[in-house]
Every structure is written in C-alpha cells, then in structure tokens.
Amino acid sequence: MSAPGSLALDRLIDQVGGTALDADVRRYYRADLTHLWHDTPGGLSPRRVLWWVEHLPEDSATVAALRGGSDHAAEHRAWTSTAHLLASVVDAVQVNTWTTVAAHARRRPKPPTPLPRPTTPRRAGRVVTVAEIAAAGRPPD
C-alpha cells in the first residue's frame, strides 16, 4: 500500500514538473525529495510535502507553474498578486490622465496601452487516462 498523499503528490509533480517542486522544497524547507523513498522514522512523507506546497510563497517556482503551466512558469514567477494590483493601479492612472487630457484637447490623443502581463495558457480538454477507460468498460470514442 502506498503512503497517504502519494497519488496527489504524483499528480502535482506531473502538473508542475519535478524540478520546480524539488527546487522549492530545497530552497524553502531545506529538505531533499529523494528522502521520500527511504524508510526512515520521522522522515519525509508525501503528505508532509503536500502540506509544504500549500504554504509556499507566491513567488515560488511551484506556485508560478500552477498559475501559468510548467511552460510559462518563468513568466509568472514575478507576478504576485501585489504586482498584478500595482499594474492595475498604473493602468487606471494612465486611463484617468488620458481622459482628462482628451476632455480638454482639440484632437483626441491616442489611448494608453495597458502594462503587459503574463499570458495564461488555454487549458486543453481533459485527458482521459487508460485507467478511466478500463474502469468504464468501453472503448474510447
């Protein structure tokens, strides 16, 4: 029987990539994921790693990969909620300034361009696993 949390940790590693998770566990918790597979008392368990992941800071590689997918993790790394709010404030100030200038100008000025933000990849359709197909007892369409 596998340890509690093994399946969830496996899914997380598939989603974010093992390197991001390994780097964050080493950086923030000074632990080594290779200890997951050693039977030592009080050692590292999948459940403990999942607890750690829940409390990773916004600028961690794992959280960035969860926000933008493993292909866009670097793009999302610096974009914490504070950075998004500050970009929104800058955009609002620019629009306000443009509106004031446009109201008093003879010719309408060019509207401001919003600050660039990281793109969020489109999620592909749900992938059906072989186990789900076998459990359904029917061939895929």
Which two structure tokens, joined as six digits, stand for 44? 């590292």
Task: Specify if 65 maps to a domain.
Answer: yes
Task: Specify if 30 maps to a domain.
Answer: yes
The residue with greater pLDDT, 140 or 79, is 79
Return the ∠ at Cα 128 (arms to 139 and 52), rounded to 5°. Answer: 150
Please write the tens of the pLDDT for every residue from 66-84: 877 655 566 667 777 788 8
Task: Specify if 115 maps to a domain.
Answer: no
Task: Specify if 52 maps to a domain.
Answer: yes
pLDDT at residue 137 tops 60: no
Task: Specify if 94 maps to a domain.
Answer: no
Q: What's the domain range around 48?
A: 1-78
**Number of domain units in the chain:** 1
Confidence class for position 112, pLDDT limits 50, 70, 90? very high
Task: Specify if 132 maps to a domain.
Answer: no
Please list the alpha-helical segments (H only) found in the chain. Answer: 6-16, 18-29, 46-54, 61-68, 73-77, 81-104, 130-136
pLDDT at residue 103 tops 50: yes
Which two structure tokens, joined as six digits, stand for 74? 């670097």
Distance CA 15, CA 29 (A): 21
Tokens 């629009």 -> residue = 95
Query: What share of the chain in percent tops pLDDT 90?
Result: 23
- Lowest mean pLDDT segment, chosen from 19-23, 44-48, 88-92, 118-122: 118-122
Averaging pLDDT over each range in 8-12, 118-122, 129-133, which range is the top one?
Answer: 8-12
Please write the tens of the pLDDT for every residue from 32-61: 888 876 666 667 888 888 889 888 988 888
Task: Specify if 92 maps to a domain.
Answer: no
Per-residue confidence (pLDDT) for residue 133, from 0 to 100: 59
Ramachandran sector of residue 108 (left: φ over 0; alpha: ψ -120 to 50; beta: rest): beta
